[in-house]
Amino acid sequence: MGTPPWRINEVLDRAQNGPICLEKDFDFKFLVPELQRVIKEYDICFDKSTPIPSDDSLADSLWKAAMDFYLTVGTLCTDTYRRIIFTENEIKEALGNFPGKYTLGFGRDSREITNRKIEDTRMPFCLFSPDITCDEDLFIPMSMAYLQEPLADGVCAPILDEIEGMPIRSGSPTEVKGSVAHAMMFREAARRVGRPGIFLKSVGTAESDAAQIAASNPEWGERLTDGRFVASISELKVNNSLLNKMVHFHTYGCFVGALMGPILGGFSGGPEGTAIVGLAYHLQGLLVNQAHFLNYFPFHLKYTCNTMRELLWVISMTYQSLARNSNLISLSNGFTAAGPCTSMVLREAAAHSLVSVVSGSNLWEIAVAKNRHKNFATPMEARIACEVGCGAVKEMISRNDANEITLTLLKSYEKDIETAPLGKSFRECYDIRKVKPSPEYTELFNTIRKELKDLGVPFIY
């Protein structure tokens, strides 16, 4: 089975010669009205009492709605004012040839990632990630802290916004320099923890195509066994720079991922529309971004997190729909409201991973503190998420049981989303020299872990 890439030149040709469409028309003549049409036509309804529905027919209706929607709307290339659209047969060809599993990383440290099914008994692939910028001197210790986590199958590094005392500016030489340093230091960190072959996701420091390309080097930088990601512009848009990255990654030969974050409250509207756009993004990821796997982080426009019930429903329904109707590989990326070293963040992380895993996803954990505060992330939040996710699989938790547990968890933190505590920075939570969590955070972690266990939250150990 040979996709992706799926006919790269077809995509490039359509980005140059597809039907002309101005961005405003794309939003208001295609995206918004078509979304409203399919929500009504396929009778998609959010039920706030059930963040994890067990209704297979809803999952299938959602898939049909998303296929119908994406076939009509497609993806806009904002630089060429063209819509990239596909036929149903083309989508089926790309989906039908998708292998559903890959081996990531190399040698002893390599791990398999697969498409997962609802209530799957196979363990999820756990990618640990801080998803935030850090001070330059923290880059190696913070990377090592994540890389040494036993449950980590792959790791994404923090992002640099300074290099050798200079601020990194997107599109400037400092970005190229910072991105090269990022790739080098990340590999050094992986070797220092004794996992040189672990799957590395990079280079978050590189926003531009030029900086991404500069970091590709099997000797010192990004290897063929690593994963590189192509983002989108909200919603369902790409540009030449993003397509440049896609072409480079495929011709270089590394794994390619797609970053997809439909916004609840934005053009996607409410939970129903956000789930449909989320599924359409998965099709775009396969066909336009040409991705081997997808990183999915629907989030709330105002609170920039996805642990409230509307978004847990979106996450659950997107994955149930994907699991029943495709072989695609996707990683569910949590975004919490609270920050490190708070009981709230540990509860939010547990809810996110539980919902994701029973619904059929792999894990990418976890952006915290509304994803906006430099140095505010530690592996402890990812650790609890992945312990719960793997625990749910080990205990063979059903969607119904997971739903009940999630409702209990929501009760404990939902009202505090808006005013969530920022918590403490990595420097405050970790002994940087020894790369060990502080006694304070360790104690809190153990206390909340016990509380969660008593509530019925499953754990792997």
Q: What is the DSSP letter of 371?
A: G
Q: How far is CA 436 from CA 141, 148, 309, 460, in A?
A: 10, 10, 33, 21
Bridge partner residues of 437 (DSSP): 430
Work out whether 209 is an interface residue with another protein (CB under 8 A).
no
Among 8, 12, 32, 455, binds another protein (CB under 8 A): 32
Q: What is the separation of C-alpha 429 from the centre of its chain, rounded to a whole number of angstroms?
A: 24
Out of 54, 72, 234, 412, the only residue in the binding site for another protein (CB under 8 A) is 234
270: contact with another protein by CB under 8 A: yes
Query: Interacting stretch for another protein, rule CB under 8 A, among 285-293, 294-302, 348-356, 432-440?
Result: 294-302
Residue 161, interface with another protein (CB under 8 A)?
Answer: yes
Q: Give 441's contacts (C-beta < 8 A, 6+ positions apart).
A: 340, 341, 378, 380, 424, 429, 430
Can residue 208 be called a binding residue for another protein (CB under 8 A)?
Answer: yes
Nearer of residues 170 and 442 to another protein, judged by Cβ: 170
Pick the binder of another protein from 99, 196, 197, 266 (CB under 8 A): 266
Report in angstroms how near the CB of residue 258 gets to another protein at its nearest: 16
CB of 167 to another protein, least distance (A): 5
| CA–CA separation, 358 and 119 (whole Å) | 5
Q: Which is nearer to another protein, 266 or 421 (CB)?
A: 266
Binding another protein (rule: CB under 8 A), the pick from 4, 154, 221, 269 is: 269
Q: In angstroms, rounded to a whole number, what is the distance separating the alpha carbons of residues 188 and 202?
A: 13
- Using CA of residue 190, residue 192, residue 195, residue 196, what is the dihedral sign? positive
CA distance linking residue 300 with residue 290, whole number of Å: 26
175 vs 185: CA distance, rounded Å: 15
Query: How many Cβ atoms from other residues are within 10 Å of residue 60's Cβ?
Result: 15
Q: Is residue 265 a contact residue for another protein (CB under 8 A)?
A: yes
Measured CA to CA in angstroms, residue 329 lies from 110, 168, 304 at distances of 17, 33, 24
Residues 114-143 that bind another protein (CB under 8 A): 133
Question: Which region, judged by CB under 8 A, interacts with another protein, from 201-209, 312-320, 384-392, 434-442?
Answer: 201-209
Nearer to another protein, 172 or 398 (CB): 172
> Considering only residues 50-109, where is the footprint of another protein by CB under 8 A?
78
* CB-nearer residue toward another protein: 374 or 394: 374
Q: Is 169 in the site for another protein (CB under 8 A)?
A: yes
- Nearby residues of 7 by Cβ (< 8 Å), 6 or more positions away: none
Give me the residues that bind another protein (CB under 8 A), please.
28, 32, 78, 133, 159, 161, 167-171, 175, 205, 207-208, 233-234, 239, 241, 263-270, 300-302, 304, 370-374
